[in-house]
Amino acid sequence: MSFPVAFYSPVASITQDEEKARKAKMAIIIERYKEKVLALPRKEIDTNLHLCKYEGFWYHHGFWLHSNANFSVEAIMALQDEFQALPTDVFLASQVKSGTTWLKSLGFAILNRAKFKIDKDSCATHPLITTSPHDCVPFLESESFLNNPSYANGLMGTHIPYTSLPQSIISSDCRIVYIHRNPKDMLISFWHFMNTLREDGSSPIKLDDTFELFCKGLTPNGPFWDHAIGYYKASLERPNKVLFLTYEKLKEDTYNEVKRLASFIGSSFTKEEEDDGSVQEIIELCSFKKLSEAHKGNKDGSHSSNGIYFRKGTVGDSVNYLTTEMIKTLDEIAKEKFDGLNISF
């Protein structure tokens, strides 16, 4: 299985004018879907966070968080109406805080390894280091029509649940790679992330509150379990089109999982590359250590600061925060939701 993927030229942070244009386009989209969104069930989580339920999942709507509305439900509706996938596209899908940044880094480094060399000398100039994994692989929700008309470039990230993806993604020949993470670790990562974003003097969010909302499925693109189930089932039904990875397996057996990823996205490593250490170089470039060090200075709590995507990068950190009772509850929910499915929790 092999198919061409266009090289992507990373864009560094967008200019103020571009940001203005993006907001203006988003405002038009918000207006277009106003009536449809008003009819949706909604929950007011706090004064800054209102979620509405669309096709079984919870989303922000309108402008949210630093006026960055890229992940709002209106963007998804517009994509469903307008987006045309190309058969050569590769979508890297995930729930928030489940390994998106890592998967994007690996996908980008693999597909662009001929263009951006990864030996020790050139590592410092690699776009994953000089820009960020999220610049290199933008989100479908934010870039496809809001900002970058030549969206394609072959490789996009998305948090949209499988069942709400634009129809052209499902019906075209493109590949989808999903990364799943243990729900307990994802929850703790999410809680830390939300508090990092609030490092502006407002009081921290309590873990109890985040836990309660998470259990009710009330996280962006949640319920978490349903999100994973959609992609998992698709990977069984369409194994050549949808690959289901886990953060934990990627940690445990990085070498083989990276080879599996490369082969699935049509960019298998040659025997020479395996022998000359190219696979290992990609793994090291995309490692938590390398990327977090490269971006650690950039952690000012805004959406555009890349450092906020790196915290610990370990498996099992949730035991340091969750009570025995919380773990029991989360395991019970997962057991029930994932019943009969081989999804780890």
CB of 208 to ligand A3P, least distance (A): 19
Q: How far is the CB of 249 from ligand A3P (least distance, A)?
A: 12
94 or 210: CB nearest ligand A3P: 94
Residue 265 DSSP one-character state: T
Nearby residues of 241 by Cβ (< 8 Å), 6 or more positions away? 173, 174, 175, 176, 234
State in angstroms the smallest separation of the CB of 290 from ligand A3P.
8
Q: How far apart are CA 200 and CA 227, in angstroms?
A: 31
Q: Which is nearer to ligand A3P, 72 or 98 (CB)?
A: 98
**Interface with ligand A3P (CB under 6 A):** 94, 96-102, 105, 185, 189, 192, 286-288, 291, 309-313, 317
CB of 99 to ligand A3P, least distance (A): 5
Q: Residue 168: which residues within 8 A CB-CB, separation 6 or more?
A: 83, 84, 85
CA distance 57 to 227: 8
For ligand A3P, the closer CB: 37 or 262: 262
Q: How far is CA 262 from CA 133, 143, 154, 216, 329, in A?
A: 17, 24, 14, 36, 37
Q: Which is nearer to ligand A3P, 83 or 288 (CB)?
A: 288
Residue number, 29 or 183, with CB nearest to ligand A3P: 183
**252 contacts: CB under 8 Å, gap ≥ 6:** 315
The DSSP call for residue 61 is -
Catalytic residue numbers, as ranges? 159
Q: What is the chain's percent helix, strand, coil content, to nearest 5?
A: 50, 10, 40
Strand partners, 155: 90
Whether the Cβ atoms of residue 217 and residue 190 lie closer than 8 Å to each other: no
Q: Which two tokens stand for residue 97?
A: 């805080």
Question: In the bound complex, what is the minimum distance in angstroms from residue 250's beta carbon to ligand A3P?
Answer: 8
